[in-house]
């Protein structure tokens, strides 16, 4: 959201760390726009004065993290993408989840996704696209979706510690995506309880018409839900009964296998060696 007012002058620098923090903040504001942005709007979004914003943005250009187009607007450079891929390559979660994701992809002609929670957003860290063209979200690694209308968001929140859940619920904006999207906190909390009871998250055309999905939590060795694994299928290929009775339990098994590889205790599925 664009701030209504701007500081009259540059905040205290606080030395190199302060400058670094503000530079990263400016970089994140450019990333949030997902397109070229002028210095005036960037200053508003960063809540910094225009001169400071311009100086930081130019420094990021020099370092290779931003580029400027012929209109003088700033946008992300490929160097940022390199950092993202370096992170994903080193992410043990992704490494451990990929074999199970490929198995699910062999079994279901749908989108197989691995996601983590960032505040009130689900962020894709790996995705395998459907084998055939079907109703699906045109998203890839790095995409963000709201927790309240994703099976992945529901299952991570349902298994989160009560204090963390309470804090996150205070900040969720229940934006309506389809006629089936949950619109109130009370409805959402009731859905989270159903998610706990069944062991997996479910959406039925709450994000996009014609698409259903289930998701399993992935736990670390401390028993904390660190990610979610989901299968999304078109309604014409998967009835709600099949989704709940067959696909959901299968995804839970996959989630348990990945969790066990991450050191989680008490989640090893029957017959897994």
Q: Which pLDDT belongs to residue 23?
A: 87
State the fold for domain 15-82: Arc Repressor Mutant, subunit A (1.10.10)
Residue among 229, 75, 65, 53 nearest 153 (CA): 229
Identify the CATH number of the domain defined by range 91-261: 3.30.450.40
Mean pLDDT of 35-57: 92
Looking at residue 140, its pLDDT comes to: 72
Domain ranges of the chain: 15-82, 91-261
Strands 121-128 and 144-146: antiparallel
48: buried, middle or exposed (CB in 10 Å: 19+, 13-18, 0-12)? buried
CA dist 163 and 271 (Å) reads 35
What would the mean pLDDT of 11-27 be, rounded to a whole number? 72
Q: Count of CB atoms within 10 A of residue 51's CB? A: 12
pLDDT value for 212: 93
Whole-number pLDDT of residue 217: 96
**What pLDDT, in 10s, does the model give residues 100-154?**
999 999 999 889 999 998 888 888 889 988 877 554 555 677 788 889 999 999 9
What's the whole-model pTM score? Answer: 0.66
Q: Residues near 60 by Cβ (< 8 Å), separated by ≥ 6?
A: 23, 26, 27, 66, 74
Report helix, strand or coil for 95: helix
Q: Shortest CA distance to 18 belongs to which of 7, 28, 10, 29?
A: 10
């Amino acid at each position: 959201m664009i701030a209504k007012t701007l500081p009259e002058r540059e905040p205290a620098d606080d030395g190199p760390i302060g400058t670094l923090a503000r530079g990263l903040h400016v970089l994140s504001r450019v990333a949030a726009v997902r397109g070229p942005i002028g210095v005036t709007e960037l200053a508003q979004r960063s809540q910094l004065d225009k001169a400071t914003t311009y100086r930081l943005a130019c420094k990021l250009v020099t370092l290779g993290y931003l580029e400027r187009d012929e209109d003088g607007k700033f946008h992300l450079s490929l160097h940022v993408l390199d950092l993202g891929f370096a992170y994903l390559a080193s992410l043990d979660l992704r490494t451990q989840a990929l074999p199970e994701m490929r198995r699910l992809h062999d079994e279901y002609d749908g989108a197989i996704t691995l996601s983590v929670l960032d505040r009130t957003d689900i962020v894709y860290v790996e995705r395998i696209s459907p084998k055939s063209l079907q109703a699906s979200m045109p998203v890839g690694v790095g995409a963000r979706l709201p927790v309240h209308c994703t099976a992945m968001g529901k299952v991570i929140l349902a298994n989160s510690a009560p204090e963390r859940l309470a804090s996150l619920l205070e900040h969720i904006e229940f934006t309506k995506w389809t006629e089936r999207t949950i619109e109130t906190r009370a409805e959402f909390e009731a859905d989270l309880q159903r998610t706990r009871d069944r062991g997996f998250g479910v959406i039925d055309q709450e994000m996009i018409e014609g698409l259903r999905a289930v998701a399993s939590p992935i736990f670390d060795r401390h028993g904390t839900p660190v990610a979610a694994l989901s299968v999304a299928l078109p309604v014409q290929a998967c009835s709600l009964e099949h989704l709940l009775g067959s696909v959901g339990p299968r995804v839970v098994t996959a989630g348990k296998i990945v969790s066990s590889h991450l050191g989680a205790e008490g989640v090893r599925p029957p017959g897994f060696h």
